Amino acid sequence: MFTRTHYKLERHTIGFAVAIIVVSAIGGLFEIAPLFTIDETVETAPDMRLYTPLELAGRNIYIREGCYACHSQMIRTLRDEVERYGPYSLAVESKYDHPMLWGSKRTGPDLARIGGKYSDAWQVAHLYNPRDVVPQSVMPAYRWLARNKLRTEDLGRHLIAQRRVGVPYTDDMIAHAEQDAKAQVDPDSDNAEGVSERYGEATHVRAFDGNPRDVTEMDALVAYLQILGRLTDAAYQNKDKGE
Amino acid sequence: MSMPFDHETLVAFSKSFGLFYLIAMSVIAVVYALWPANQAQFDRAAEQIFDDGDTPCQ
Amino acid sequence: MISGLTLGERQTAVCLSLALLVLGVIFAGAGQGDPLGVHGFIIAAYAVVVMGAVITGYYAPAPGADRLTQYYDDPTKFGIIVAMLWAIFGMFVGDWVAWLLAYPDMTFDAAWASFGRLRPVHTTGVIFGFGGNALIATSYHVVQRTSRARLPDQLSPWVVLIGYNLFCLLAVSGYLIGITQSKEYAEPEWYADILLVIVWVTYFLLYIRTLARRQEPHIYVANWYYMAFILVVAVLHIVNNLAVPVSLTEAKSYSLFAGVQDAMTQWWYGHNAVAFFLTAGFLGMMYYYLPKRAGRPIYSYRMSIVGFWGITFFYMWAGSHHLHYTALPLWVQNLGMTFSVMLLVPSWIAAGNALMTLNGAWTRVRDDATLRFMAMAAVFYGLSTFEGSFMAIRPVNSLSHYTDWTIGHVHAGTLGWVSMIVFGTFYSLVPWMWKVERMYSRKLVEWHFWLAMAGTLIYVFAMWNSGIIQGLMWRTYNDGGTLAYSFVDSLVAMHPYYIARAVGGFLFFLGPVIGLYNILMTIRLSRETAGTGIAEMPVVALKAGE
């Protein structure tokens, strides 16, 4: 009987097309749909803070340069990874990452908890020419990051777009996006305090590339690298609980 | 969240119904392929690509 | 090629390219100061080139009604050449970035020349540029022959090809100037994604319109695979690329999904891009051209049907094996693992079916490099699907993930399976399309085959070695219970393998260079013999390789 049905299905090409879609799509649906309700069961992290405009800009540079092609940001639940890189990554840690940058390849080491492991000066020197600090490195040199001024006038629009996809940036943050980006590299400026007010006391406010006057792409990228794994302490608390 | 669409329910549905769906799909595909009455058209299709007239039917 | 279009089609073509030109100019103007503006100029320039080509041929005599008595093959011919050009470009960039990992200072202090920007140029160039054009070109050929029906119109196949290559061009040029979503194998930004949706809908409609005109009630199985390729890629592409642009005059957008949902969506896409782009489409190619070239019907038509529904159904669940031991819930990981292992059944059905078809024609496989390409493709398909299922098992994956083993696996599939089935197909198809008896040089086909074999084997063995060494070094402990090697130690150990890989890649890259030369010379041969009577001879499939 259903052979006749299939026969008809084939004769009507559209029916055949629908069959392919249904058969293929349902699999993915079963797998993915429950993940969108996962917020109910996922770890909560009340201390989770947002990327500052400068860090977000740095993240966009990380994306633009394709850093994710060689660096993961996902420490797996394996002993050697935890010992090498730190507590394994939790889902909540990337809940504001649009898109996520878990990566799929480690030509270089994992960066999920790189924040604070090295000084700003080391990061700048390393990006300027990796082989100056790690002679065996195969990473490209990113000298132009130090030369390029960061585009800041569009950061407000970036925060608005982020809010549209679900990141809770406030009107205040959006209104001060450009100002905050400039102030975050200039701790002595009048606006520096506003950055800490809006994004939390733990926010790094300092001249990442050593020069507080200009906001360079180097500033942004280093600010981002220094915050990796530092947006919440959930992973560390989780580790203490486990032990 | 309220009852019908909480995470556990959705996962349970995926885990159970997904399995039945898998079995049903596999059975349907195999029965269709092995149904004796279909043999003739399959043979014809397999041979049809050697039909050498390289022009479309009008 | 313009001379084949009717006057009305030429006019529509001019209008469409004019519309594209306007769009490009708008983007160029509105996107000033943003990388989007650069893309506006590229779109406009592309439109001018297309329009120029149409206008140049505009006053050629219009084709008569007798065109309808022939299949419409001009787009297929165009697609073959373009696919070969993309192959050369994409593989060159691939080999270049392979050398960069051995000698990282070859970047001229320029952003565009760094590994991170060039790597997606390679992947897009070979997957979408080479693979995609090959799929589109051959699908036009297969659907017409198996339906015994001409394409329903002459313009939409061109819209698909021209639009699709604009997408590829925007993608590749975008990475170089810093436009990317960072979603692996789906890097192009929102406007390029919208373009691809338009192209793909046109492609789908063209395909089902042709099928609807078929004479035979049964649809030949190759078309099933092409259909699955077209349809599922559309679904994957739309869902995975859902994003909110910063503004309509800026290239940058933010993905609708974040974190764990985004990870699952990206790898649901990523793995099924492998399934429906790099597998289903090329299986369609195999199920038509391999029996055709071997002169033997497919060993078991029933198996091809079971295999089809198996692949269509199982693949969709397998994506989560890219996320083992991550923050993805464990049950989803286990589900992905289970289905990945089950996938071996339909995969080996297809590989076995291909090899059994050749059973009895092994002397031809020995003598005919073209058929040998297809036979090796089936072997590599079988090997890499086995490897894939194996690597999806969680404990295996704990070693292989993040290492070069994955790269080796992917290239066993793409060099060994995808490229080889395409080259085998092209060497069969080119003489049929240009109506000559055989390729210009059989010796060069032979050379291409052995370069491809050597290149693939060197590449894959180098990456297996480096990947497994890497994975082991990362997890080795010394007696004191601490990690034995620093990350840099493992990097240093990779150096010889990175050189070997780049050498293997170079050998493989030489293949399409030779191949394109051979194809162009074959076309020249067909022009020289045109009118001498040979061109009018009916092309007999069985004799094509002899």
Give the tens place of pLDDT for each residue, C107-139.
999 999 999 999 999 999 999 999 999 999 999
Q: Using a CB–CB cutoff of 8 Å, tell me whether B25 touches chain C.
A: yes
**Nearest residue of A to residue C311, measured between CA atoms:** A24
What is the chain C residue with the closest CA to B31? C306
For residue A91, give the amino acid letter.
Answer: A
* Best to test chain C binding among A29, A50, A56, A98 (most C CBs inside 10 Å): A98
pLDDT-derived band at B6 (thresholds 50, 70, 90) equals confident
Question: Given an 8 Å threshold on Cβ–Cβ distance, is A83 in contact with C483?
Answer: yes
Rounded average pLDDT over B21-44 = 89
Report the pLDDT value the prediction gives residue C276, as an integer from 0 to 100.
93
Length of chain A counted residue by residue: 243
Percent of chain A with pLDDT over 90: 77
Q: Which of residues 92-121 of A touch C (CB under 8 A)?
A: 92-110
Contact C326 A89 (CB under 8 A): yes
Q: A243 touching B, CB under 8 A? A: no
pTM higher than the cut 0.90: yes
A1 touches chain B (CB under 8 A): no
What region, left, alpha or beta, does residue C138 occupy, with left being phi > 0 and alpha being psi -120 to 50 degrees? alpha
3-state secondary structure of C256: coil
Contact yes or no for C292 and B49 at CB 8 A: yes
Please check whether the domain covering C72-528 is classified as CATH 1.20.210.10: yes
Q: Which residue has the higher pLDDT, C309 or A238?
A: C309
**Between the CA atoms of C82, C87, C90 and C94, what dihedral angle is there, to the nearest 10 degrees?**
180
Residue C320, both tokens: 């989560």
Question: Are residues B57 and C215 in contact, defined by beta-carbon separation less than 8 angstroms?
Answer: yes
Q: Which residues in chain B touch residue C305, judged by CB atoms under 8 angstroms apart?
A: 29, 32-33, 42
Tell me: the pLDDT tens digits for A72-99? 999 999 999 999 999 999 999 999 999 9
Residues in chain C with CB shorter than 8 Å from the CB of B29 are 305-306, 308-310, 313
Shortest Cα distance, chain B CAs vs residue C241, angstroms = 25
| CA dist., res. C437 & res. B48, Å (int) | 22
**Interchain CB contact of A8 with C (< 8 Å):** no
Q: Tell me which chain C residues have a C-beta less than 8 angstroms from the C-beta of B11.
A: 331
Contact A28 C272 (CB under 8 A): yes
Give the Cβ contact number of residue C69 at 10 Å.
11
Tell me, what's the pLDDT at B11? 80
Judge residue A22's burial from the number of C-beta atoms within 10 Å of its C-beta, 0-12 exposed, 13-18 middle, 19 or more buried. Answer: exposed
Per-position DSSP letters for C149-197, written without gaps between them: ---S-SSHHHHHHHHHHHHHHHHHHHHHTT-----TT--S-HHHHHHHH
Q: What is the DSSP letter of C255?
A: E
Residue-level pLDDT, tens digit, chain C, 546 residues: 888 999 999 999 999 999 999 999 999 999 999 999 999 999 999 999 999 999 999 999 989 888 999 999 999 999 999 999 999 999 999 999 999 999 999 999 999 999 999 999 999 999 999 999 999 999 999 999 999 999 999 999 999 999 999 999 999 999 999 999 999 999 999 999 999 999 999 999 999 999 988 887 889 999 999 999 999 999 999 999 999 999 999 999 999 999 999 999 999 999 999 899 999 999 999 999 999 999 999 999 999 999 999 999 888 888 899 999 998 989 889 989 999 999 999 999 999 999 999 998 999 999 999 999 999 999 999 999 999 999 999 999 999 999 999 999 999 999 999 999 999 999 999 999 999 999 999 999 999 999 999 999 999 999 999 999 999 999 999 999 999 999 999 999 999 999 999 999 999 999 999 999 999 999 999 998 875 544 444 444 444 443
Residues of A in contact with C182 (CB under 8 A): 63, 66, 68, 99, 101
Mutate to test the interface with A, among C491, C492, C499 (most CBs of A within 10 A): C491
Partners of A149 in beta bridges: A216
Residue C220: which of B26, B30, B45 has the nearest Cβ?
Answer: B45
> Which of B1, B3, B10 is the best substitution to test chain A (most A C-beta atoms within 10 A)?
B10
CB pairs under 8 A between A and B: 33
Q: In the 8-state DSSP scheme, what is residue C351?
A: H
Question: Does the beta carbon of C176 lie under 8 angstroms from any beta carbon of chain B?
Answer: no
Look up residue A113 and give its DSSP letter.
T
Q: Cβ contacts of residue C90 below 8 Å, gap of 6+?
A: C121, C122, C124, C125, C126, C129, C130
Closest-CA distance, C139 to chain A, in angstroms, reads: 16
Residue A37: which of B10, B25, B37 has the nearest Cβ?
B10
Q: What is the DSSP letter of C477?
A: B
pLDDT of residue B9: 81
Nearest chain C residue to B35, by CA? C302
CB < 8 Å & 24+ apart, contacts of A125-130: A127/A218, A127/A221, A127/A222, A130/C104
SS3 C230: helix
Q: Does A37 touch chain C (CB under 8 A)?
A: no
Cβ-based contacts of B1 with chain A (< 8 Å)? 37, 40
Side chain identity at residue C382, one-letter code? G
Q: Which two tokens stand for residue C16?
A: 């469409």
B44, B49, B52 ranked by CB distance to C538: nearest: B52
Residues of chain B with C-beta less than 8 angstroms from the C-beta of A37: 1, 5-7, 10
Q: Which of B14, B19, B23, B26 to mutate to test the interface with A (most CBs of A within 10 A)?
A: B14
Interface membership of B13 toward C (CB under 8 Å):
no
Indicate yes or no: CB of A30 within 8 angstroms of CB of B14. Answer: yes
> What interhelical angle do C156-176 and C35-56 show, nearest 10?
150
What are the chain C neighbours of A30 within 8 Å (beta carbons)?
Answer: 317
CB contact under 8 A, A66 and C116: yes
Alpha carbons B5 and A203: distance in angstroms, whole number: 38
And the tokens for C505? 């890649």
What residue in B sits closest to A7 (Cα-Cα)?
Answer: B38
Partners of residue C257 in chain A, C-beta under 8 Å:
98-100
- DSSP H helical segments within A33-138, as ranges? 53-64, 79-85, 120-128, 130-133
Q: Indicate the helix (H) or strand (E) that contains C253.
A: strand C253-255
pLDDT value at residue A1? 45
Residue B57 to residue C217, Cβ atoms within 8 A: no
- Judged by a CB distance cut-off of 8 A, whether residue C68 touches chain B is yes
In chain B, the residue whose alpha carbon lies closest to the alpha carbon of C290 is: B49
Distance CA A93, CA A79 (A): 20
Bond preceding residue A99 cis, omega within 30 of 0: yes
Question: Does C288 lie at the interface with B, CB-CB under 8 angstroms?
Answer: yes
Who among C145, C308, C331 is closest to B49 (CB)?
C145
Instruction: List, for residues C405-434, the tens digit of each pLDDT value.
Output: 999 999 999 999 999 999 999 999 999 999
Beta-carbon separation of B1 and A34 below 8 A: no
What is the separation of C-alpha C160 from the centre of its chain, rounded to a whole number of angstroms?
15
Per-residue confidence (pLDDT) for residue A237, from 0 to 100: 83
For A92, A117, A243, C154, C236, the CA distances from A240, given in Å and listed in that order, are 17, 20, 5, 68, 40
A185, A116 contact by CB (below 8 A) = no
Mutating which of C301, C320, C333 best tests the B interface, going by the most B Cβ atoms within 10 A? C301
Residue B23 in this model has a pLDDT that exceeds 90: no
B6 interfacial to chain C (CB closer than 8 Å): no
CA-to-CA distance for A103 and A63, rounded, in angstroms? 11
Subunit contact C218:B44, Cβ cutoff 8 A: yes
Chain B: closest CA distance from residue C376 (Å) = 22
Q: How close does chain A come to B7, measured CA to CA in Å? A: 5
Q: Report the residue from C149, C297, C331 with minimal CB separation from B56.
A: C149
Domain boundary assignment for chain C: 1-59, 72-528
Question: What is the least distance, in Å, from the CA of B18 to any CA of chain A?
Answer: 7
Query: Sorting pLDDT into bands at 50, 70 and 90, what band is A40?
Result: low
CA–CA min distance B2, chain C (Å)? 21
- Short-list C141, C170, C325, C537, CA closest to A110: C325
Token readout for C198 is 């338009």
CA within 13 Å, CB half, C217 = 10
Which positions in chain A touch C259 (Cβ < 8 Å)? Answer: 91-97, 100
DSSP calls for C231-250:
HHHHHHHHHHT-EEES-TT-
- Chain B residues whose CB is inside 8 A of the A6 CB are 32
pLDDT at A32 over 60: yes
